[in-house]
Amino acid sequence: MDQAFRNACMEAVRRALDEDLQSRGDITSQAVIDPGTRARGRVVMREEGVVAGLPLASMAFRVLDARVSFRALANDGERLGAGSVIAEVEGLALTILEGERTALNFLQRLSGIATLTSRFVAEAAPYGAAILDTRKTSPGLRTLEKYAVRAGGGRNHRFGLFDAVLIKDNHIAAVGGVGEAVRRAREALGGEFPVEVEVQRLEDLEEAVQAGAEVVMLDNLSVAEVEEAVRLARGRVKLEASGGINLDNVAAYAAAGVDFISVGAITHSARALDIALDLEPLRG
């Protein structure tokens, strides 16, 4: 885990714990559980899926009490079946219960993203198309959700507006055409970043190529139109299919011959994976 990612995880965990505990802590557990009670918890997959988020789960407990023992029994990116125990945590019962929901929220959310991503990857892989994410992420959690995409076998598109050029329909509308937008980007940035441009009509593809785009995003085109775009491009640019792509049609888009398929749904619509923590008190 590099330091930048660790810092992002720690910031997210501290923010989530503060949201849940505020200044009072877990008033229910404080009221009913003896402060000295120790317990062991088993983090269990209730359904099959790809694990992601174990480092955050560990932090959720250890930020509260560094004496808590958290032992991961799986690796992020590993596909496991229902009933699999992916971690064990041991310490004061009060601490484990205070951190439980935060740990599970991160595990369930990120594992859900990794699992959905893996399904798209499996559909596209036979045709050599890479599955990319988008900027359609939960506010403040982009680093973590893009990590989960990688855990599921996908690839990250640009992280934000600062690290890649992607000319979209509103940029094109503002300057009057695909070619003009591409030329302006190339002149302004001097080759610092590859230039990608979105086209919504086959007629704009050649204009994008001639203007010097390195990647063309084919937005909301049918499979037949994407097949035609691949034929017209003749390998001169990388092609990315986007818009309206789901598990029912992703294989068809991949088979059309594109290099990339971007899918916003893998982050904005992933269902949380069912993961639970089973607690037992320790005697003696």
User: Which positions are catalytic?
Assistant: 101, 136, 168, 198, 219
Find how far residue 9's CA is from the centre of its chain.
Answer: 14
- Degrees to nearest 5, angle at CA 191 with 190 and 194: 140
Angle formed by the axes of helices 142-151 and 3-21, nearest 10°: 120
| Range list of β-strands (E), the chain | 38-45, 49-50, 69-72, 79-80, 85-92, 130-132, 165-167, 195-199, 215-219, 238-242, 260-262, 275-281
CA-nearest of 170, 214, 152, 159 to 189 is 214
Helical residues (DSSP H) of 125-249, grouped into ranges = 142-151, 169-175, 178-189, 205-211, 223-233
Q: Please provide the size of the chain in residues.
A: 284
